[in-house]
A and B are shown apart, each in its own frame.
Chain A
Amino acid sequence: MSRLPRRTLILSIPLIAFAALLFFLAQGLSNDPRLLPSALIDRPMPDFSLRDLQEPSRLVSARDFTGHIALINVWATWCPACYDEHETLLKLAREGVTIYGLNYKDERAKALAWLERLGNPYVRVIDDSGGRLGLDLGVYGAPETYLIDAAGVIRYRHVGVVTDQIWDDEFLPRIELLNAEGKA
C-alpha cells in the first residue's frame, strides 16, 4: 500500500525540478541586466584625497564622511539623467538629508555653472575630474547614489535617477534600519 505513493513521489521529482528551473528562469526575465550589484556594499568608503569643487585649495577625504548617515551622489554636466534627478536632490536637501556630490569626469567651470543655475543640493562637492575615485567606487554610469552610514561604510548603491518613489522604497527603509541599529 505504501508502494504507490512512494513511486509517485519519486516519479514527480523531475517534474518538481523542472518547475523550479522554470521559476528561476522566469525570474531572470524580469531582471534588468544593466543593473550591477555594487562590490563595495558593507565595505568602507575607498580612501581618497581630492579637491573640493568650490574651494579647490581645500582637500576632501573619506574621513569627512564619517559621523552621520549621508548620500554620495555621482553626477556630471554631461549626464542628462542627472538633470532629471536634480529637483529630487534639492528637495531632499531641503528636508535635511546630507548629500555629498561627486562630480565625475567633468569640467570644473561647467560644473560650477550648473550648480549656480540649478541650485546646489550638496553639502560639499568632490572634484573627481580624473575619475579615480569613481573607478575605486566601481561607478559605471552617472547618476549613481551611495548610502553611507555614520562609520563611513557603504550600505547601498542605486544606479540611475533617484525619484521620490525610489527614495521611499529603497533609501528610507534602509536609513530607518541604520537609525534603529544606532540606537540599539
Chain B
Amino acid sequence: MSARSITLLARAVLGMLLGLVLSANAAIDAYQFDDAAQEERFRQLINELRCPKCQNQNIADSDAPLSKDLRQRVYELMEEGRDDAEIVDFLVERYGTFVTYRPPVNAVTGMLWFGPVLLVMGAAFCVGFWIRRRSRDARVELTEDEQRRIADLLRQSDGKGL
C-alpha cells in the first residue's frame, strides 16, 4: 500500500467515526431550537437540574426514563416562552428542592448557608474576648513600696548605662 492510499484510508475511517459520533448525539437530542442561544439555555438548564430517581446525576447525563421526561418537559416549557426561573420553579413545585443543584435560602437550609459564618464570627469573638482579658490581667498594679524600689533602681542605673 502506498503512503497516499494509507492516508486516504485513515481519512475514510476518521470520517466514519465522526459520522457515528454525530449520529449518536443526534439520537440523544432530537430537540429543535430557534437559535444557538436557546440551545445553550436548554443545555444549562438540564445541567443544573438533578434527576429525582438517581442519587447524583443531572437530567442531562442521566439515562433514566424520568430524566428523559423531564428534559422533554423543560423543552416544552421553553417553547411556551417561560424563563429559567419559572422552569426551575415548575420542577421544584413538583419534585421539591431536591431537583435543583442550587439550594435556596430558607428556614431549612439557613443553618447550612449561615452556619459557617456564625461559627467564624463566634470564634473571632471568643478569641478577641480572650486576648483582651489576657492583656488586662497582664497589667499589674504596683504597691507604693514597689513603686519606690523601681524609682530607686532607675536612679541607680542613671549614667551607668545598665
Residues of A at the B interface (CB closer than 8 Å) are 33-34, 36-40, 105, 131, 135-138, 140-141
Contacts and interface: CB of A to CB of B under 8 A. Distances in A.
Interface of B: 52-53, 55, 65-66, 69-70, 73, 92-96, 98
Contacts of A138: 52, 94-96
13 contacts: A33-B55, A38-B96, A39-B92, A39-B93, A39-B95, A40-B94, A131-B69, A135-B69, A135-B73, A135-B94, A138-B94, A138-B95, A140-B52
B33 to A, nearest CB: 22
Which 3 A-B residue pairings sit nearest by Cβ, starting from the closest?
A140-B52, A39-B96, A138-B94
The main secondary structure of chain A at its interface with chain B is loop
A169 to B, nearest CB: 23
A137 B93 CA distance: 9
Given A36-B52, A131-B69, A141-B66, 13 more contacts: A33-B55, A36-B95, A39-B93, A39-B94, A39-B96, A40-B94, A135-B70, A135-B94, A137-B94, A138-B52, A138-B96, A140-B95, A141-B53
B55 to A, nearest CB: 6
B96 A37 contact: yes
The main secondary structure of chain B at its interface with chain A is helix
Interface centre among A33, A37, A140 (most CB of B within 10 A): A140
A66 to B, nearest CB: 21
A33 B96 CA distance: 14
A64 B66 CA distance: 27
Interface centre among A36, A37, A136 (most CB of B within 10 A): A36
B66 A140 contact: yes
Nearest to A140: B52
A174 to B, nearest CB: 20
A138 B98 CA distance: 11
Contacts of A137: 94
A105 B72 CA distance: 15
Nearest to B93: A39
Contacts of A105: 65
B96 A34 contact: no
B53 A140 contact: yes
A152 to B, nearest CB: 17
